[in-house]
Structure 1
Amino acid sequence: MKKVLAIMISLIILTGSILVISYMKADASQKSIAEKVIRFHVIANSDSTEDQALKLKVRDNVLKYISPKLKNSKSIEESREIIKENNDEINKIAAKTIEENGYTYTVKSKLSHENFPVKTYGNITLPQGNYEAYRIIIGNGQGHNWWCVMFPPLCFTDITKGDVEVKKTDEMMKKTLSKEEYELVNDDVEKNNLVFKCKIAEKIKEACKSK
């Protein structure tokens, strides 16, 4: 019994240590990741079916315009300047789209740092934290938003269908992030980490059953 108790205590300490270290690494990696990406969010006036559909039309027209300008950007600094230089034109495109669809909503856009919850785009999940983001806000901006990553340019894999090309997304993120950062945001790697944690839990259960 003492041997079982000792094993249980050791496994609990090991698990706790792994969780603490993982949290500290994840927090540091999130801040490092945030310095290398620019997010893009289009926020709907409300969650009504009509407002959500309008949001996607604004998204499509804006991406069709900005995609050729950003897709070959080599750095976050270059992308940031392109966005700033084209902000007025983007606003005009968004406003025109809203008007053509029979709405009178105002629209505003800004490049700023904002706090975001965990968000998934294809097979990439960005952890909760503060990120630089280009946001287009339609009307009251009270609806759910559509989002992607402007740098590296992940938004532009398939504008018409809204599909995410996993292979291209992986390639771009690997080029931009360190190995540790990439492993944090890649869902497949995270699943493997979850399996590892589950195995530790299984060992604890086995020890509890032993006599």
Structure 2
Amino acid sequence: MPTTYPVAFPDIAGAVMRPARFRLSDTVSMLLTNSGVTSHARVATPVWTLSLGVDFETVQAEEDFDRFIQSVRDALGSVIVGQYGVFCRPRNHSSGMPNASAADTTGLVASTEGLTVDIVDVDPNLSLAEADLVGFEKDGARGLGILQEASPPGSSSRTLTLRPAPRGPAFAAGATVRFVDPKLKMRIAAASYSPATGYFGSASLDLVEVAI
């Protein structure tokens, strides 16, 4: 049966994903002028990346994971991934057991303007802090932004300032907003897959955001 995209990483017995976090790759050029002033210029659009490590407890797990990677690495489809081994939740809700006001909270984008987004239908007790990750989903597209500023708790409507704001169609009115375990569509980066060598080894690969 042909593979249908996007696909998720399979749950393979004996394959253990190491903890990982989304990282923003931002390429900036620096130039020192004759007057001693350093100028900075962004030379590429910032993209989210994820480096994954997988430890294998059985030879069968190594083989099954390698078969999966080989089946999707050269295809045009994407792989939906999230966080592995760690909670991804607002900083003010991250200690101890998951906090219901964060874990059960999603929102709906009412409007967007530049780096600012107005959202509705959120839990009034949700407390957001600078550098929290905010995910957006619409019509199958995914996006991720870093919170710079948010209006205070106590209301089901919030205004968020994101820097950078998500790219693509997910950052638009009508999108669903997720504050816990946001996901992205990502591709396996070219030549990044390093398979396990020997018995009970480890594999690694890098993923890069697909803003569609």
Which has the larger Rg? 1
Establish whether TM, by shorter chain, passes 0.5.
no
User: Which structure has more strand as a fraction of its residues?
Assistant: 2
More helix by share: 1
**Which structure is richer in relative contact order (CA contacts within 8 A, separation 6 or more)?**
1
TM-score range normalised by the length of the shorter chain: under 0.3
